[in-house]
Amino acid sequence: MNESGTQTAGTDFFSSEFLLSNVGAPFVIGVAVGYFAKKMLKAALFIGGALIVLMFVGEYYNIVNISDAELQSATDSVVKGAKDTGGFLVNRLTRITSKGVSAVGGFFAGFKFG
C-alpha cells in the first residue's frame, strides 16, 4: 500500500495480471513439460523393454550372448542419463519466475498426470 492507502500495481499479489504472469503461465508451462517428460519416459521404457526381450530371444536361439554384468551396466548408464535429464528440466523450470515454485509444481503435476 502506498501513502494514500491504495495498493500499487507492483504489490497487488491478487490481481489477475500478477497471478497469470507469475503463477498461471509458469504452472501451465511446467504441466506441459512434465506431461511430455512422462510420456517420453514411458515410450523409452517400452522400446527399451522390447529391445531387451528381443535380445533374450536372440540369446535363447544362440544368436547373441548377453552378459548379465554388461546388461546391468548399460541399464545403470541409462538410469543416470534419465536422472540428469530430469534434473536439467527442473533446473530450467526454476528460472522461469523469480521463485520457480509455480513451474516446478506444474512439472510434477504434469508428470503425475502423464
pLDDT tens track for 42-59: 999 999 999 999 999 999
Is the pLDDT confidence value at 7 over 60? no
The predicted structure's pLDDT at residue 104: 87
For residue 6, being part of any structural domain is answered with: no
pLDDT in tens, 74-114: 899 989 998 888 888 888 888 887 667 888 888 888 898 88
Note whether residue 29 is domain-resident. Answer: yes
Q: SS3 for the chain, per residue?
A: CCCCCCCCHHHCCCCHHHHHHHHHHHHHHHHHHHHHHHHHHHHHHHHHHHHHHHHHHHHHCCCCCCCHHHHHHHHHHHHHHHHHHHHHHHHHHHCCCCCCHHHHHHHHHHHHHC
Residue 1 located in a structural domain: no
pTM for the complete prediction?
0.71
What total number of domains does the chain contain? 1
Residue 63 lies in a domain: yes
For 36, the domain range is 12-113
Residue 69 maps to a domain: yes
Q: Let me know if residue 3 belongs to a domain.
A: no
